[in-house]
């Protein structure tokens, strides 16, 4: 991913930057997933959002019904995670503008 961003930055958009990284399809029962989260957080630091989007059947089903997960099932764990992420992104953007 970082190589791709660097290539785009060098060839098409010198102003391109990563504001944040979202960890998705997370399964806390999987040791590898836990290790990946730890490694990404260690390597990328504050760029990684605190909110992690879990694997969730409702998220997977929503596109089959032509709906975003927030419309398909607002109360599922996936929707709740995306709402937390949205709040976190908004807060981070406010901090970037203030600082």
Number of domains the chain is built from: 1
Q: Could you tell me the residue range of the domain that residue 85 belongs to?
A: 2-98
Per-residue pLDDT, 10: 96
> Taking 80 as the threshold, does the pLDDT of residue 79 lie above it?
yes
> How far apart, in whole angstroms, are the C-alpha atoms of residue 88 and residue 17?
18
Contact of 37 with 53, CB cutoff 8 Å: no
Q: What percent of the chain has pLDDT over 70?
A: 100
Per-residue pLDDT, 99: 74
- In Å, how far are 5, 10, 27, 49, 95 from 17, measured between CA atoms? 8, 11, 28, 15, 16
> How far apart, in whole angstroms, are the C-alpha atoms of residue 98 and residue 81?
26
Global pTM exceeds 0.75: yes
Mean pLDDT of 65-80: 98
What tens digit of pLDDT does each residue of 24-71 get? 999 999 999 999 999 999 999 999 999 999 999 999 999 999 999 999
CATH number, domain with residue 48: 3.40.50.300
């Amino acid at each position: 991913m970082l190589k791709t961003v660097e290539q785009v930055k060098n060839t098409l958009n010198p102003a391109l930057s990563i504001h944040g990284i979202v960890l998705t399809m997370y399964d806390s029962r999987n040791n590898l997933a836990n290790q990946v989260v730890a490694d990404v957080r260690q390597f990328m630091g504050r760029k990684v959002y605190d909110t992690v989007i879990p694997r969730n059947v409702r998220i997977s089903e929503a596109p089959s019904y032509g709906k975003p997960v927030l419309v398909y099932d607002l109360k599922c764990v996936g929707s709740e995670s995306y709402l937390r992420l949205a709040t976190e992104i908004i807060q981070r953007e406010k901090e970037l503008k203030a600082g």
